[in-house]
Chains A and B, each alone.
Chain A
């Protein structure tokens, strides 16, 4: 299954962004300006399209900053800590996200794809 095409199709429909070039590197919120109601609709569509359970907190990394704080408080290795919380993200991707936090929500289309693949296993 071409996950990118399927997710692009869903997002084009939800966000009404016909013609916008969406790649795996596109930021869901920074680039596409998805709002909370769009994220809810996306979660429902992913659930229906891929027959997977979608946990909004997980897929959208909603508690990312709280988990980082927790890891720092507990003096844990942040990457290992986040890898436990977000098992669908590779350590390399987590490292990339951590380096990218200052720019705003770091969630990219490729993270959605990782989540869907992980849930379908």
Chain B
């Protein structure tokens, strides 16, 4: 698999409607572009006006996708989204993730509760409701975009890792429970990505971080997006209720 329209054309998809949570991040934008080329119709969520504008700037052809407000801190926004989704939903890709970097022993206590409620409890409610939409359709495919930091974390990433692992468990359970109904799940754990949040970290760490990665480079949004598109395709249906590492070999060695 590699970049380019010709290669993505070979993938077959069991539907068209793709819901992308956290739709304004760089990876989501890259996935949206790939998905549109592959004939899918994405619905991207944004959490505020600024992120909505960001999507519109990055994806000017607004007839090829739709957007919807969704804030993990606002439960009512979920009903708004589900009304927009209606009964037709074939795919879900979940990039949504709040920021909370803190040592456990120095974390703000209120923030602990709100962060875990937003990133775990809200996600569980969302998954319950999306699963039921997919059950009505008799099929569905969900990809959770986790992180290699879920299993190999830096100091200060405890809450991030905890929420990623909890979310992975939720997705895995859906794959176990609903696989027989045609609803399957995969969690993808990308390593360092050269764009978005990862960019700042990599700039701070410099060359040292690249030396820890056997392929001596970070990932690019485009290649991660293409991998997600592959995971959505019929060719990847055999992957279910599992986690896949995509980190250039970072976590394989000492």
Is A48 interfacial (CB 8 A cutoff)?
yes
Report the bound CA distance from A43 to B180 in whole Å. 17
Contact A37 B177 (CB under 8 A): yes
Is A32 interfacial (CB 8 A cutoff)?
no
Contact A48 B136 (CB under 8 A): yes
Residues from chain B with Cβ under 8 Å of A43 in the complex: 132
Contact B135 A41 (CB under 8 A): yes
Is B181 interfacial (CB 8 A cutoff)?
yes
List A residues 21-68 near B (Cβ within 8 Å): 37, 40-41, 43-44, 47-48
Residues from chain A with Cβ under 8 Å of B132 in the complex: 43-44, 47
Main secondary structure of the interface of B (DSSP, over half): helix
Query: What is the minimal beta-carbon distance from B96 to any residue of chain A, in angstroms?
Result: 24
Residues from chain A with Cβ under 8 Å of B177 in the complex: 37
Residue of A nearest to B135 (CB): A44
Contact A41 B136 (CB under 8 A): no
A43, A44, A47: most-surrounded residue (chain B CB, <10 A):
A44
Residues from chain B with Cβ under 8 Å of A37 in the complex: 177, 180
B135, B177, B181: most-surrounded residue (chain A CB, <10 A):
B135
Residue of B nearest to A44 (CB): B135
Residues from chain B with Cβ under 8 Å of A47 in the complex: 132, 136
Residue of A nearest to B181 (CB): A41
List B residues 196-250 near A (Cβ within 8 Å): none
Residues from chain A with Cβ under 8 Å of B135 in the complex: 40-41, 44
Report the bound CA distance from A53 to B87 in whole Å. 14
Query: What is the minimal beta-carbon distance from B183 to any residue of chain A, in angstroms?
Result: 11
Residues from chain B with Cβ under 8 Å of A48 in the complex: 87, 136
Report the bound CA distance from A33 to B142 in whole Å. 30
Query: What is the minimal beta-carbon distance from A117 to any residue of chain B, in angstroms?
Result: 21
Report the bound CA distance from A48 to B132 in whole Å. 10
Query: What is the minimal beta-carbon distance from A36 to any residue of chain B, in angstroms?
Result: 9
Report the bound CA distance from A40 to B181 in whole Å. 11
Query: What is the minimal beta-carbon distance from A43 to any residue of chain B, in angstroms?
Result: 8
Query: What is the minimal beta-carbon distance from A34 to any residue of chain B, in angstroms?
Result: 15
Report the bound CA distance from A92 to B75 in whole Å. 37
Q: 1/0 contact trace for A58-94 toward B, CB 8 Å?
A: 0000000000000000000000000000000000000
Q: 1/0 contact trace for B106-137 toward A, CB 8 Å?
A: 00000000000000000000000000100110
Residues from chain A with Cβ under 8 Å of B181 in the complex: 41
Residues from chain A with Cβ under 8 Å of B180 in the complex: 37
Query: What is the minimal beta-carbon distance from B89 to any residue of chain A, in angstroms?
Result: 13
Q: Which 8 A-B residue pairs are closest in the complex by CB-CB distance?
A: A44-B135, A48-B136, A44-B132, A44-B136, A37-B177, A41-B135, A47-B132, A41-B181
A interface residues, Cβ below 8 angstroms from B: 37, 40-41, 43-44, 47-48
B interface residues, Cβ below 8 angstroms from A: 87, 132, 135-136, 177, 180-181
Q: Pick 13 A–B contacts, CB within 8 A, sort by A.
A: A37-B177, A37-B180, A40-B135, A41-B135, A41-B181, A43-B132, A44-B132, A44-B135, A44-B136, A47-B132, A47-B136, A48-B87, A48-B136
